[in-house]
Structure 1
Amino acid sequence: MMTPLEQLLTALHDAQVEFVIVGGVAARAHGSSRLTDDLDVAYARSPANLARLVKALAPFAPYLRGAPPGLPFDWSIATLRSGLNFTLTTSIGAIDLLGEITGGGPYDALRPHAITVTAFGRELQLLDLPWLIRVKRAAGRPKDLEVIAELEALQEEMG
């Protein structure tokens, strides 16, 4: 049985969506012990990539997380184009689509700071540890600040 994380990452990868894994899942991949309940990805905002993203997630009924049930929400290229960051719930798990992240910028600025990792039989892009620490520090939320010390210790261990 695939986990929600595996299903989400597989759907994005197999649809050839251009994205970089950031946030808690990236921290876990680098060795953090903290659990996270959603997938955060920075995504390319090109028209072709927006189309791939819409197609990849459409089967999982994306809906705005925290929005009242029944609120009209159109999962479409136009919706993605008119917004930037989306916190979504899907039938297989929560995903945050980030057109830009504090301290890191848009996908194109993050991509050079990503490393390739293999997970679930697929090559995925993951924000590297120095940049993950940088964006967590820039976000400045208590949960981000708490994980920075652990990430810095992991970075030190790696030399």
Structure 2
Amino acid sequence: MARAQYDISGVLPSAWKSKLIPSWSIEGGLLKGSKIVYSEHKNLQRSALAWVVDKVDRHDLPYMVVGGLAATAHGGSRPLHDIDLYAPFAHSNWSNFLTSISKYVVWGPQSVVDGQWDLTYLKIDYHGQRIEIGDCDDVLLKNGETGAWIRQRIDIEHSVSRSVLGRDVNVMPLQQLIEYKRVLGRDVDQQDIQELTGGPPFPQNRA
């Protein structure tokens, strides 16, 4: 049976908006730059990452960090807004894990078409830090150039250990991350690719 799909592009649940820390915009950017705000934000990111990794480890749930945090773990410098990871929702320990984090879940899990993603995921607000966890099975990404939907294999078993925000975590391997971001092709992805490869964001002969 085909899963239900909902287009929630551009929609942010009211529960999410009400819990955002004052120094953040809805889009996740700092409203005003300052050393104090930056320091507090980095501490919040460290705390949130430690919390969610402790939870998955405690429940022996496989996971893989992706997105901006994975880029940071591989040497990227772009400011981090949210923490993204994949996990197998069909895993025998998923239910217990979900119960353990339910206090902070503000949306989902739900199968959706959301921008360039077609997947099942949930949103967490951990004291103002956004965390999104997607199901690693049946993930489709919309190619930013062609508009075609491409099925992705999120190979959690081959994640690599990297230290980021003071924590050793399982992240998407560098080459997989680059290919993942090439499909999406957003400005942030192009910036990450350029930093991680030391070259142009896309091959120069790309049409």
TM-score, normalized by the shorter chain, greater than 0.5: yes
Matched, 1:136 2:181: yes
What residue is the counterpart of 2:127 in the other structure? 91
Matched, 1:31 2:90: no
Any unmatched runs of 5+ in structure 2?
Answer: 1-42, 112-119, 142-149, 200-207
Which residue identity lines up with residue 13 of structure 1 in the other structure?
D
What residue is the counterpart of 1:21 in the other structure? 65
Distance in 2 separating the partners of 1:126 and 1:90: 20
Superposition RMSD in Å: 2.8
1:146 aligned residue (171, 187, 191): 191
Identity of aligned residues (%): 21
Matched, 1:12 2:59: no
Give the structure with the higher percent helix.
1
Q: TM-score, normalised by structure 1?
A: 0.69
SS at match of 1:3: helix
Distance in 1 separating the partners of 2:166 and 2:60: 15
Any unmatched runs of 5+ in structure 1?
Answer: 65-78, 155-159
Count of aligned positions? 136
SS at match of 2:181: helix
Q: TM-score, normalised by structure 2?
A: 0.55
Q: Which moved more, 1:24-33 or 1:137-146?
A: 137-146
Q: 1:53 to 1:86 in 2, by over 3 A?
A: same
Distance in 2 separating the partners of 1:92 and 1:8: 14
| Per-residue deviation, 1:21 | 0.5
Matched, 1:63 2:106: yes
